[in-house]
Amino acid sequence: MNSLDRLIEEKLQRELQAKTRRHFIKDCVAGMGGLALGSLFMSCNSFLGNNDKARITLTERDINPLASMAPPFPAKVKSVIYLHMAGAPSQLEMFDYKPTLHKLNNQACPQSLLEGRKFAFIRGVPKLLGPQAEFKQHGESGNWVSNFLPHFSKVVDEVAFLKAVNTDQFNHGPAQLFMHTGSPRLGRPSIGSWVTYGLGSENQNLPGFVVLTSGGKTPDAGKSVWGSGFLPSVYQGVQCRSKGDPVLYIDDPKGITRNLKKSTIDAINNINKKEFNEYSDPEILARINQYEMAYRMQTAVPEVMNINNEPEHMKEMYGVQPGKESFANNCLLARKLVEDGVRFVQLFDWGWDSHGDSHSNAVDLGLRNKCTEIDRPISALLLDLKQRGLLEETLVIWGSEFGRTPMQENREGKEMAFKGRDHHGDAFTMWMAGGGIKKGASWGLTDEIGFSALEGQVSVHDVHATMMHLLGFDHEQFTFDFQGRPFRLTDVEGHVIHEILA
């Protein structure tokens, strides 16, 4: 480097140094002034606020984010019970009867079905696997239910089937997210969050969105399936447990009496009220309200979560096991929660991933046991809601993240020890029951082996649109502004499934 270059270099450095200082003062005067002016105006506002309270108009939602709001359109239902069987139960052993598949049992799957397709585990040419259950038509509707669900087949006239639900995800995590948030990627609010955000909750002492898991595993997608995404976090699902403390740390700590707790909260609230009188920030009121609600919840939640006081015949009907974590207990709890005005109750069961890699994951053995576990509770739930006059204002949804293949799984191309089926999202079964649902309806038709939809294919978005419709929303209008654009549960898709509406 010659001296001239060095001189130029030095000159540039100097210039840059000078610029960093001067730039700020010279170029940013207008900007700084603007900022200052902005805050001047703002402080003006809060200054006036001190003298003139009327200037601040508080909505009910400012103070209580769970205050109930009217839906845009008259709603058919006011609460939802969503029964999710994580792992994906086989529709071919439960609801979608395919006699042809029976005939084709053990035959090689035609190439046309495999070309250009990717399965989670199936490799090469798998064999078709006939239904492992016996099917019969039930009720006045004549809908098909297998002998895996003997109790449910008695209440089949209460529900409407969707036989050709379609998802584009074939792994549990993303598919569960898609089913519960409308997007297979993280970050969107769950259905329950949307609903509690839109409608609030009736009971002041309970959360608006309660999640119950059957113990053991939680869904693969994690807690995001009941998360609030970009909605305020008050709308996320509250996980309650049927064993131990219903909500973690809900008990008063040792040595703290209820009265002491009350006076502590009163003292904090008094300070907060003074703070509000000074600054008029509605956030403070919301905080006061949250403290009070938490205090009330401490007694209300354990009360509603206690199933021991239910009469014996009720416990028998649901098949509950007090003191344990079970799907049956959760079904009974779901009824109690809805009865007490909880807006959205989300149940997760697990162990439905019938790959055929073990006894419990076999479609003829383990699946049957899983069916027995849910058969009585779900049937009891429907009947119990009905006799209490709650079914007409509740929407009960049963489903999973996807369904299973008509082909027998051949993991790594080898025959497996047990009969199993791989993940399959082209056409699987869900059902809905309750207010606004056409009883005994069945919509959607799959081909002879149950591989893809022939008629009435509905998407996950369509299911969401239908739920929103029943709750009094137009899914296209119900949005939340985030990152500069309005977001909705159904993204840019979704059609209400009129075929299953009364």
| Rg (the chain; Cα; Å) | 28
Distances (CA, A) of 42 to 34, 48, 57, 361: 12, 10, 16, 63
* Pairing, β 458-459 against β 159-166: parallel
DSSP state of 309: T
* Owner of token pair 């309005």: 486
* 152, 145 contact by CB (below 8 A): yes
| CA-closest candidate to residue 324, choices 213, 443, 236, 421 | 213
When the beta carbons of 61 and 241 are compared against other proteins, the nearer one is 61
Query: C-beta of 79: minimal distance to other proteins in Å?
Result: 12
* 393, 169 contact by CB (below 8 A): no
When the beta carbons of 62 and 364 are compared against other proteins, the nearer one is 364
Query: C-beta of 289: minimal distance to other proteins in Å?
Result: 13
| CA-closest candidate to residue 76, choices 497, 382, 435, 339 | 435
When the beta carbons of 180 and 370 are compared against other proteins, the nearer one is 370
* 357, 122 contact by CB (below 8 A): no
When the beta carbons of 63 and 250 are compared against other proteins, the nearer one is 63
When the beta carbons of 275 and 499 are compared against other proteins, the nearer one is 499
| Residue 86 three-state SS | coil
When the beta carbons of 175 and 471 are compared against other proteins, the nearer one is 471
Query: C-beta of 248: minimal distance to other proteins in Å?
Result: 25
Query: C-beta of 69: minimal distance to other proteins in Å?
Result: 8
When the beta carbons of 60 and 278 are compared against other proteins, the nearer one is 60
Contacts of 153 (CB under 8 A, 6+ apart): 136, 138, 139, 145
Distances (CA, A) of 36 to 26, 31, 33: 16, 9, 5
Fill in the amino acid letter for 68: S
When the beta carbons of 275 and 393 are compared against other proteins, the nearer one is 393
Query: C-beta of 389: minimal distance to other proteins in Å?
Result: 4
When the beta carbons of 416 and 497 are compared against other proteins, the nearer one is 497
Name the strand (E) or helix (H) holding 282.
helix 282-304
When the beta carbons of 368 and 423 are compared against other proteins, the nearer one is 368
Query: C-beta of 117: minimal distance to other proteins in Å?
Result: 26
* Pairing, β 485-487 against β 480-482: antiparallel
Query: C-beta of 11: minimal distance to other proteins in Å?
Result: 49
Q: What token pair was written down for 208?
A: 């608006």
Distances (CA, A) of 76 to 23, 49, 430, 495: 62, 42, 20, 17
Query: C-beta of 498: minimal distance to other proteins in Å?
Result: 6
Query: C-beta of 333: minimal distance to other proteins in Å?
Result: 18
When the beta carbons of 14 and 55 are compared against other proteins, the nearer one is 55
When the beta carbons of 200 and 227 are compared against other proteins, the nearer one is 200
Q: Which residues contact other proteins by CB under 8 A?
A: 60, 68-75, 150-151, 154, 202-205, 313, 316-317, 319, 340-341, 364-366, 368-369, 372, 376, 379-380, 383-384, 386-389, 392, 472, 495, 498
Query: C-beta of 358: minimal distance to other proteins in Å?
Result: 13
Query: C-beta of 313: minimal distance to other proteins in Å?
Result: 7
| CA-closest candidate to residue 457, choices 491, 407, 493 | 493
* Owner of token pair 């949307």: 194
Q: What token pair was written down for 425?
A: 């999202």
Q: What token pair was written down for 501?
A: 């509406």
What burial class does residue 181 get, using C-beta atoms within 10 Å of its C-beta: 0-12 exposed, 13-18 middle, 19+ buried?
buried
Distances (CA, A) of 241 to 80, 91, 170, 307, 365: 19, 29, 29, 12, 29
| CA-closest candidate to residue 437, choices 168, 226, 207, 141 | 141
| CA-closest candidate to residue 168, choices 400, 426, 355, 465 | 426
When the beta carbons of 219 and 472 are compared against other proteins, the nearer one is 472
CB atoms within 10 A of CB 342: 26
Query: C-beta of 224: minimal distance to other proteins in Å?
Result: 30
DSSP 29-48: HHHHHHHHHHHHHHHHHHHH
User: For the chain, what's the residue count?
Assistant: 502
